[in-house]
């Protein structure tokens, strides 16, 4: 099992009020699954994503990633896990504005301590994979929204992580470009990666093979998607 979550709680203190963002979540995800985590705002899906991405740790319960207990890790160990095991794709792309595409993609490898030549090579390969071989020297403000998100995907892939964790990856894109990005995720998944998609949009979640619905800090339903939408259009009848 790649991810194993048992009895997960996350409690925040807001003033003198206790907010139970996660209230007992159990979830298993195997390698090379394509999972969408859905839910309205306040359902706890963002908190769950933060914990899955090792940006946050549980108040109670267990989160094991590749058999390692995340809850017990120090800040530096969490940073290393984020670096090696997690590839983030954000709604707002979050590229460094002053760095060109190549440098942005290289960044995780810099923190992994990889040598200059090697990481340059890896970053190039990663950008080629998302079809941006001819945009390496462009800065984010010289790229379209879709291209920026593809740079972000290249960055997420570059250190060959165990999980690609995408948070509303199409939220800032028009629907046509959004479909392109979803096709990119489809390809990544087909190449053997594990993709976790966090979204409140049903259309987007429909691309995943498994849909986990959150409500009030708990898993409301966890179902196999019988008719996944292929990225090119509505769900094909012959699927």
Nearer Cβ to another protein, position 55 or 235?
A: 55
Among 88, 130, 208, 219, binds another protein (CB under 8 A): 88
> Among residues 2, 11, 23, 55, which is the contact residue for another protein, using CB under 8 A?
55
| Residues in 150-169 at the binding interface with another protein, rule: CB under 8 A | 155, 159
Member of 2, 11, 73, 112 binding another protein (CB under 8 A): 112
In whole angstroms, the minimum distance from the beta carbon of 81 to another protein comes to 8
Interface with another protein, residue 43, by CB under 8 A: no
DSSP state of 235: P
Token pair belonging to 137: 């020297």
Q: Are strands 194-199 and 163-167 parallel, antiparallel or unpaired?
A: parallel
Closest CA to 198 of 72, 29, 75, 82: 29
Task: Pick one of 16, 18, 75, 117: the residue that binds another protein (CB under 8 A).
Answer: 75
Q: How far apart are CA 30 and CA 4, in angstroms?
A: 9
126 touches another protein by CB under 8 A: no
Phi/psi for 221 (5° steps) reads -150, 155
Label each residue of 121-160 as H, E or C.
HHHHHHHHHCCCHHHCCCCHHHCCHHHHHHHHHHHHHCCC
Quick check: 94 binds another protein (CB under 8 A)? yes
Beta carbon nearer to another protein, 77 or 220: 77
**190 Cβ neighbours under 8 A, 6+ residues apart:** none
Q: Which of 10, 45, 82, 229 binds another protein (CB under 8 A)?
A: 82
Under rule CB under 8 A, residue 45 binds another protein: no
* Residue pair 8/51 in contact by the 8 Å Cβ criterion: yes
Residues of this chain that interact with another protein (CB under 8 A) are 50, 53, 55-56, 75-76, 79-80, 82-84, 88, 90, 94-96, 98, 107-108, 110-112, 155, 159
């Amino acid at each position: 099992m790649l991810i194993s979550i048992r009895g997960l709680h996350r409690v925040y203190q807001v003033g003198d009020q206790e907010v139970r963002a996660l209230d007992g979540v159990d979830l298993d995800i195997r390698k090379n699954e394509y999972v969408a985590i859905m839910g309205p705002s306040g359902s706890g899906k963002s908190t769950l994503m933060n914990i899955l991405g090792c940006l946050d740790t549980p108040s109670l319960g267990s989160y094991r990633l590749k058999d390692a207990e995340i809850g017990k890790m120090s800040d530096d160990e969490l940073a290393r896990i984020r670096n090696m095991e997690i590839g983030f794709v954000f709604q707002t792309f979050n590229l460094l504005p002053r760095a060109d595409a190549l440098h942005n993609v290289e960044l995780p490898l810099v923190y992994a301590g990889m040598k200059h030549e090697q990481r340059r090579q890896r970053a190039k390969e990663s950008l080629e994979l998302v079809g941006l071989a001819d945009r390496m020297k462009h800065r984010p403000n010289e790229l379209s929204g879709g291209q920026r998100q593809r740079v972000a995907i290249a960055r997420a892939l570059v250190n060959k992580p165990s999980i690609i964790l995408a948070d509303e990856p199409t939220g800032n894109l028009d629907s046509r470009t959004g479909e392109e990005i979803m096709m990119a995720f489809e390809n990544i998944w087909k190449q053997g990666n594990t993709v976790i998609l966090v979204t409140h949009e049903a259309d987007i979640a429909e691309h995943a093979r498994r849909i986990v619905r959150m409500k009030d800090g708990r898993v409301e339903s966890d179902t196999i998607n019988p008719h996944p939408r292929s990225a090119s259009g509505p769900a094909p009848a012959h699927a």
